[in-house]
Structure 1
């Protein structure tokens, strides 16, 4: 499997090969602030992700960092410091993904202005 994507301006392009895991929507406060609502992603092993261009990395906590385009600001990547995987934004994929949402995460932190009513597992 190969999924290709980019930021809004095209300065950062990426390709995820292998089978994406953890297809989820994050409702945490940090993802809401970075995206303006929520963030959908999947992850692959670091060796299965090729990035063209130079994302800016923001250390958002003691355990993780977030990658975004320094030109247009698109939030593209999330990386846990102790894991050999990187999450990538599903909304940045060119064309259909062929993936199915597996879970909603950090739902206790979700905004009060919407409901989650799709029947997908909530954590």
Structure 2
């Protein structure tokens, strides 16, 4: 069971489904919203229980991002044409038991850091 919450605790989430695709996203939108890279994993929407009032922001025509309206924590990302939802690994309360599998949108990464962990990198 993975359980997580926002910084102020108003939003909580949990899943007992196996988290898939742990990754670090380097796209400009994730960097702007998180202040750095964003680490996440995903499950099917039906497998993630969310309590609290998430504010959804349509960041593009194909995706939306879920944040806490109280503290601003960036917690969720979902594509409009998929039935999965990504959740912030940094918001998990306690150990995740997961290991990163890849880096995504590395063509858009900031110039102020290097990716040197040897994991696969997707442009």
Q: Normalised by the shorter chain, which TM-score bucket?
A: over 0.9
SS in 2 for 1:34: helix
Please say if 1:68 is aligned against 2:67: yes
Instruction: Give the superposed CA RMSD.
Output: 0.4
Q: Partner residue of 2:85? A: 86
- C-alpha contact (below 8 Å) 1:6/1:12 kept by paired residues: yes
> Runs of 4 or more off by more than 4 Å in structure 1?
none
Instruction: Provide the residue aligned with 2:98 in structure 1.
Output: 99
C-alpha contact (below 8 Å) 1:39/1:89 kept by paired residues: yes
**2:2 aligns to what?**
3
Query: TM-score, normalised to structure 2's length?
Result: 0.98
Q: TM-score, normalised by structure 1?
A: 0.98
CA shift, 1:17, in A, is 2.0
Q: How many residues align?
A: 122
Runs of 5+ in structure 1 lacking a partner? none
d(CA) in 2 for partners of 1:69, 1:39? 16
1:46 matched to which residue of 2?
45
